[in-house]
Structure 1
Amino acid sequence: MSPHSVRMRFLLAGGLLTAVMAVCGAWSVVTFTRLSAVIGETLRDNQDKIDRTAALASGLEREDDALLLALTGNASRAQTEWEEARHRFEAHFSQLQAVLTADDEQAACADLRRHVDAYHHAGDALLAAREPTAAREIYHERVNPALREAVADCGRLRELSFRAMRQAGQEADKQAHRASQIWAVLALAALVCTALVTVRLAKTVLADVAAFARLNELRSELVAVASHELKTPLTSLRMNLLLLRERADNLTAQQSEILAAAVDAVEELAGTIDELLDLTRIEAGQLRLQREQVDLAVVIEQAVRSLRPRFEDATVHLRIVHEVPTAVVRGDAARLRIVLANLLDNALKYTPAGGEVQVCLTSSQDTPPRLRMSVTDTGPGVPVEFRERIFEKFFRVEHHQESDANGVRGAGIGLYLCRQIIEAHGGSIHCEANEDGRGTRFVIDLGFG
Structure 2
Amino acid sequence: MKISHLQTRFILAGILLVMTTVVSGIWSAWTFAHLSEVAGRTIQKSQLTTDLSAVLSDALEREDDALLLAMSGDRGQAQKKLDAERLRFAQAFNRLKENLDQPDQTQALAQLAKHAALYRAAGDVLLTTVAPQDAFRWYYQNVNPALRRAVAACAEIRESNFRAMQRAGIRARDDARGATILVIAISAAALLISTLVAVMLARSVLTPIRELDRSVEALRLGDFERRVEVTSRDELGHLAEGFNRMAEALAEFRRSNLGEVIAAKETLEATIAALPDAVVVIDPDGHIVAQNPLAKAILVATKAQGAKIVDDLPFSAGSLRAVREALEGKPTDETRAELTRAFAVRLDGQPRKFMLTAVSIPEFQPGRCGAVAVLYDVTDFARLDELRTELVAVASHELKTPLTTLRMNLMLLGESAGNLTPRQQEILATAAQGCHELASTIDELLDLTRIESGQLRLSRELVDVYPIIDRAIISLRQRFEDAGVAVQVAAGHRPAFVLGDSVRLGMVFTNLLSNALKYSPRGGCVSISVRSDHNGRGPGVLQIEVSDQGSGIAEAFRERVFEKFFRVEQHLQNGNATTWGAGIGLYLCRQILEAHGGTILCHAGDNGVGTSFVLELPSPGTVEQ
Normalising by the residue count of structure 2, what TM-score does the alignment of the two structures yield? 0.42
1:235 and 2:309 matched: no
Residue 430 of structure 1 aligns with which residue? 601
Residue 333 of structure 1 aligns with which residue? 502
Residue 269 of structure 2 aligns with which residue? 195
CA contact (8 A) 2:542 2:619 kept: yes
Q: Distance in 1 between matches of 2:250 and 2:467?
A: 83
Deviates more, 1:417-426 or 1:244-253: 244-253
1:447 and 2:602 matched: no
| Counterpart AA for 1:243 | L
Q: Distance in 2 between matches of 1:176 and 1:429?
A: 59
Q: Percent identity?
A: 51
Unaligned 5+ segments in structure 1 are 1-28, 49-168
CA contact (8 A) 1:375 1:442 kept: yes
Deviates more, 1:197-206 or 1:325-334: 197-206
Within 5 Å, which residues of 2 pair with 1:293-312?
A: 293-312=462-481
Residue 563 of structure 2 is aligned with which of 392, 405, 418? Answer: 392
Deviates more, 1:192-201 or 1:235-244: 192-201
CA contact (8 A) 2:541 2:616 kept: yes
Deviation at 1:47, TM superposition (A): 10
Q: Distance in 2 between matches of 1:316 and 1:211?
A: 46
Q: Distance in 1 between matches of 2:255 and 2:383?
A: 48
1:370-417 Cα distance to aligned partner (Å, 9 max, x none): 211111111111111111111111111111112454422221111111
Q: Which has the greater radius of gyration? A: 2
CA contact (8 A) 1:275 1:417 kept: yes
| Counterpart AA for 2:268 | T
- Which secondary structure state, in structure 1, belongs to the residue aligned with residue 378 of structure 2? helix
Residue 288 of structure 1 aligns with which residue? 457
Gap change, CA 1:387 and 1:365, over 3 Å in 2: farther
1:79-111 Cα distance to aligned partner (Å, 9 max, x none): xxxxxxxxxxxxxxxxxxxxxxxxxxxxxxxxx
Gap change, CA 1:395 and 1:313, over 3 Å in 2: same
1:223 and 2:392 matched: yes
- Which secondary structure state, in structure 1, belongs to the residue aligned with residue 423 of structure 2? helix
Structure with more of its chain in helix, by fraction: 1
Residue 256 of structure 1 aligns with which residue? 425
CA contact (8 A) 1:350 1:406 kept: no
Residue 437 of structure 2 aligns with which residue? 268
Structure with more of its chain in strand, by fraction: 2
1:38-85 Cα distance to aligned partner (Å, 9 max, x none): x88xx87x999xxxxxxxxxxxxxxxxxxxxxxxxxxxxxxxxxxxxx
Gap change, CA 1:238 and 1:201, over 3 Å in 2: farther
Residue 115 of structure 1 aligns with which residue? none
Q: Distance in 2 between matches of 1:376 and 1:229?
A: 36
Q: Distance in 2 between matches of 1:281 and 1:227?
A: 12
Q: Distance in 2 between matches of 1:293 and 1:260?
A: 36
CA contact (8 A) 2:468 2:505 kept: yes
| Counterpart AA for 2:458 | L
Deviates more, 1:402-411 or 1:278-287: 402-411
Deviation at 1:181, TM superposition (A): 7.0
CA contact (8 A) 2:465 2:496 kept: yes
| Counterpart AA for 2:568 | V
CA contact (8 A) 2:543 2:614 kept: yes
- Which secondary structure state, in structure 2, belongs to the residue aligned with residue 399 of structure 1? helix
| Counterpart AA for 1:316 | V
1:112-161 Cα distance to aligned partner (Å, 9 max, x none): xxxxxxxxxxxxxxxxxxxxxxxxxxxxxxxxxxxxxxxxxxxxxxxxxx
CA RMSD of aligned residues (A): 3.4
CA contact (8 A) 1:429 1:443 kept: yes
1:284-330 Cα distance to aligned partner (Å, 9 max, x none): 11111111110111111221121112211222111122312330111
Residue 186 of structure 1 aligns with which residue? 260
Within 5 Å, which residues of 2 pair with 1:204-215?
A: 209-215=378-384
Q: Distance in 1 between matches of 2:512 and 2:548?
A: 10
Residue 26 of structure 1 aligns with which residue? none
Normalising by the residue count of structure 1, what TM-score does the alignment of the two structures yield? 0.58
Deviation at 1:442, TM superposition (A): 1.0
- Which secondary structure state, in structure 1, belongs to the residue aligned with residue 470 of structure 2? helix
Q: Distance in 2 between matches of 1:417 and 1:240?
A: 30
Greater RCO structure (CA 8 Å; 6+ sep): 1
Residue 246 of structure 1 is aligned with which of 397, 415, 440? Answer: 415
- Which secondary structure state, in structure 1, belongs to the residue aligned with residue 419 of structure 2? coil
- Which secondary structure state, in structure 2, belongs to the residue aligned with residue 409 of structure 1? coil
